[in-house]
Amino acid sequence: MRVKFSKHGPIRFIGHLDLMRYFQKVNRRADLPVKYSEGFNPHQLLTFALPLSVGMESDGEYLEIQFAQELSAEEVLGRMNAEMHEGITALTAKTLTSQEKKAMTAVFACAYEVSFREELQDKVLENRIAQY
């Protein structure tokens, strides 16, 4: 199942590995029947589309979760959101077919919006970019 989530506020300062652990805990607390690997150190079968840089907010991050049994998208969203902290929200969920691309290959472009704390004139901004 592919889950689209948003990440805003102070939680944007959590790095990718910590975010992975966060979702493992959310899945356990929500009592979701996540599949585990079959090695000596079993771990939840989760895949993130692209790691987000620390400090960045997003309205469209993607996570794929493999479940041991079939669940509805609505149930997954409800159970996950009930366990999540402020600033991170599961927005949509979709059951994937075997023909669909994995999240890492499905995301092929990103759009960034940059905002500044102070008002900058166009020439000043152009000069600063050129100096960089």
The domain tally of the chain equals: 1
Give me the percent of the chain exceeding a pLDDT of 90: 67
Mean pLDDT of 33-48: 94
Mean pLDDT of 53-63: 92
Q: What is the chain's mean pLDDT, rounded?
A: 89
Q: Residue 6: enclosing H or E segment and its boundaries?
A: strand 2-7
**What's the pLDDT at 126?**
84
Which CATH number belongs to the domain containing residue 110 in this structure?
A: 3.30.70.580
**What's the pLDDT at 94?**
92
**What's the pLDDT at 106?**
66
Residue 84, classed as helix, strand or coil, is coil
Mean pLDDT of 105-115: 74
Expressed as residue numbers, the domain containing 44 is 2-131
| C-alpha distances out from residue 63 to 16, 51, 58, 104, 115, Å | 12, 10, 13, 9, 27
Higher pLDDT, 83 or 122: 83
Give the closest residue to 77 by CA, choosing from 132, 12, 26.
26
Mean pLDDT of 1-20: 94
